[in-house]
Amino acid sequence: MNSQELKKLKMPVKPGVYFFYKRKSIIYIGKATTLRDRVKSYFSRDLVNTRGMLLVDMVNLADTIKWQETDSVLEALILEAELIKKYQPKYNTKEKDNKSFNYVCITKEKLPKVLVIRGRNLKKENYKKAFGPFTNGSQLKEAMKIIRRIFPFFDNDSQKRQNHEFYKQLSLVPEENYKNNLKNLILFFQGKKKKIIVNFKKEMLAYAKKRQFELANDVKKRIFALEHINDVALIKNEFIDASQKQANLSRFTPKGPYTDPNFPVSAALRIEAYDIAHMGGKNMVGVMTVMENNEVQKGEYKKFIIRTQSDANDTGALEEVLARRLLHSEWGMPSLIVLDGSTAQMNVGKRVLDRYQIKIPIVGVVKDEKHNPKAIIGDANIIKEYKREILLANSEAHRFAITFHKQKRNKNFLK
């Protein structure tokens, strides 16, 4: 199969699982944040350098590509493992010995635990259920964090962390309720999300009839979490065609020259995300993080100690950071700026760019009371096409800002 044949397939820009076939046999299965971009990467000229000769051989042999869409990257990760186990594709099993893969296992105890077990240590007779193999250990670790927020479960660390509020609450749950929770978790690993939602809705109505409205509301939140899975942490390491992405984004960028022609504009899709961190206005810092072609560029991260603000003025601090950043023409210019905040932060960003007569699109990530993303504001077309990249960039900026703030606070405490 070649790239011209691939274009005719019109693959969607959605998460899912893809299949390379040789005649009627599946020879390789993979998952994707965006099916179109991921599969397209297999036909790049540098495939041998990025993926190795084994997959070059696989692509040359394949004559058909099919796919299955999912609602989230998390579900694509789980579906990939289920299908690799079912079909045992030649080029998946060649990549690595199954003994080095990970499995999610549920124990046979009175209050079962959910554990991640390496294939070499897996003895299936010791477990009620085992799901896998999962080929990427770090992604599975992040996935289990997301799953645990929807289906709370015990693991081997539970006893060590009994003082944690999560475990304190979990220990009060009746045994039967906990087992029902695990039944739903098993259904999730079996790809039966719709059935879980039906179960949750029955549970919510039962609580409501008993006038147990707080419990009914808790179940309602779990339904929402399941229907809107926040899997930002999993959206990494996908191959994206840089020139196409940059060409797409340029459609939304206002026309007009930069005041300073010394600003080099990157040919790649470059996203810069900004965040401010402090505690009551003390030890206030700002950061800039960078993503190019959906990969973080930690070598280009920047830290700013806020000099102009003496109180908890986030917008004033953001204005200082953006103004100082734009003095550095040698850093190049981003394709898109992502700000942590709402209309106030957006207005600051636009004001600073207008001051320098620089035209770059800006979006803002609005957070809820727990500082989780609840909305993105800005150009609707940009948000629709780059939502995942925006959320990942914002998440990385927030993490980096908090880390820098804590370092500064601890340093000042020791003085």
In this structure, the answer to whether residues 79 and 104 fall within a common structural domain is: no
* Beta-carbon count within 10 A of 73 CB: 27
In this structure, the answer to whether residues 122 and 153 fall within a common structural domain is: yes
Residue-level length of the chain: 415
- pLDDT score recorded for residue 80: 93
- pLDDT score recorded for residue 365: 95
User: Which residues in the chain land under pLDDT 70?
Assistant: 1, 3, 45-52, 94-100, 124, 158-174, 232-260, 262-268, 329-330, 413-415
- Paired with 25 in beta bridges are 22
* Beta-carbon count within 10 A of 346 CB: 18
CA distances to 86, 329, 385 from 265, in Å: 47, 10, 21
In this structure, the answer to whether residues 337 and 360 fall within a common structural domain is: yes
Domain count, the chain: 3
Distance CA 50, CA 29 (A): 17
Report whether 240 contacts 269 (CB < 8 A): yes
For residue 327, the domain's CATH number is: 3.30.420.340
Who's near 132: CB < 8 A, 6+ residues apart? 81, 85, 101, 102, 103, 104, 119
Domain boundary among 216, 233, 250: 233
In this structure, the answer to whether residues 88 and 208 fall within a common structural domain is: no
Domain boundary among 192, 209, 233: 233
**Can you say how many angstroms the Cα of residue 399 is from the centroid of all Cα atoms in its chain?**
13
Distance CA 290, CA 307 (A): 23
- pLDDT score recorded for residue 250: 52
- pLDDT score recorded for residue 408: 87
- pLDDT score recorded for residue 266: 42
Domain interval for residue 282:
240-413
Give the pair of three-digit tokens for residue 64: 């058909």
In this structure, the answer to whether residues 255 and 401 fall within a common structural domain is: yes
In this structure, the answer to whether residues 16 and 81 fall within a common structural domain is: yes
- pLDDT score recorded for residue 52: 65
Report whether 304 contacts 288 (CB < 8 A): yes
In this structure, the answer to whether residues 107 and 223 fall within a common structural domain is: yes
